[in-house]
Amino acid sequence: MWRIDKKGKFSKYNLSDFVVDHFTLNKDYEQTHLTLLKEHKTAEKEYPATFKTFRLDGNIYFWFGLSIQRPSLLEPTPENTTISAPTPSSDAKRRMKEIVNAREDAIFHIVEQADKRHFSGQEFIHFNFFICPGDIDVPKEHVFLSLPTKGPIVSNFHSAELIAYRQHHVALTGTNKTIVVTVSRHYGKLKNKILTALYDG
């Protein structure tokens, strides 16, 4: 895991061999912390530190960044969902109707790359997570805010003239805020399978 400052400089945070259970964002959007699994045990968790978010122009908050060596490290999105439950035949129709009704107005977010070309071993994927007011896009100058470009984090990095990226908007229920996830593909070899970057204010 790495810390990043306002100038984009990375410094290593002293954690190794850990699994992130989840990120928690405070209600004021100004602080966040990670919950880690101890030695990969789901019953044991710890909080390593509290981090600040990075407030940008337009009341946009940078939450955290995530870089991944290759798409196979991501969890696949199933094309079909199968629900199986023992049901008496006399009540099957009613229960099926309730399941269908429960899915009404549901929004399923699938994060996709901006282009569909083949992924090579000399490329990596980069995600940024922002908290935005309303349904606005993150300005391009912030899209690559936590992108690793130098060693020892990444080797052979070079920037294409035009980097394709995509933004995904996820509404935060009960607020006027939106989580905006940006995803982009970059040339270079990432040292770690997964790299997490949080702001060091």
For the chain, what are the domain ranges?
Answer: 2-72+111-199
Alpha-carbon distance of 11 to 79, in angstroms, equals 39
* Model pTM score: 0.76
User: Which 3 state secondary structure label does DSSP give 71?
Assistant: helix
Render pLDDT for 65-89 as a digit per residue (tens, 0 to 9). 999 998 888 777 666 767 777 788 8
Residue 61 has what pLDDT?
94
Residue 17 has what pLDDT?
60
Mean pLDDT of 100-115: 62
Residue 141 has what pLDDT?
85
- Greater pLDDT, 167 or 165: 167
User: Which 3 state secondary structure label does DSSP give 115?
Assistant: coil
Render pLDDT for 181-201 as a digit per residue (tens, 0 to 9). 998 888 899 988 888 888 876
β pairing state of 194-199 and 2-4: parallel
How many Å separate Cα 60 from the centre of its chain?
A: 16
The pLDDT of residue 147 is above 70: yes
Cis upstream peptide for 152 (omega within 30°): yes
How many Å separate Cα 13 from the centre of its chain?
A: 19
Residue 115 has what pLDDT?
56
Alpha-carbon distance of 131 to 28, in angstroms, equals 11
Alpha-carbon distance of 167 to 183, in angstroms, equals 7
Render pLDDT for 4-62 as a digit per residue (tens, 0 to 9). 887 778 888 776 666 778 889 998 899 998 888 776 666 667 777 788 999 998 889 99
Alpha-carbon distance of 169 to 111, in angstroms, equals 10
Residue 64 has what pLDDT?
93
User: Which 3 state secondary structure label does DSSP give 65?
Assistant: strand
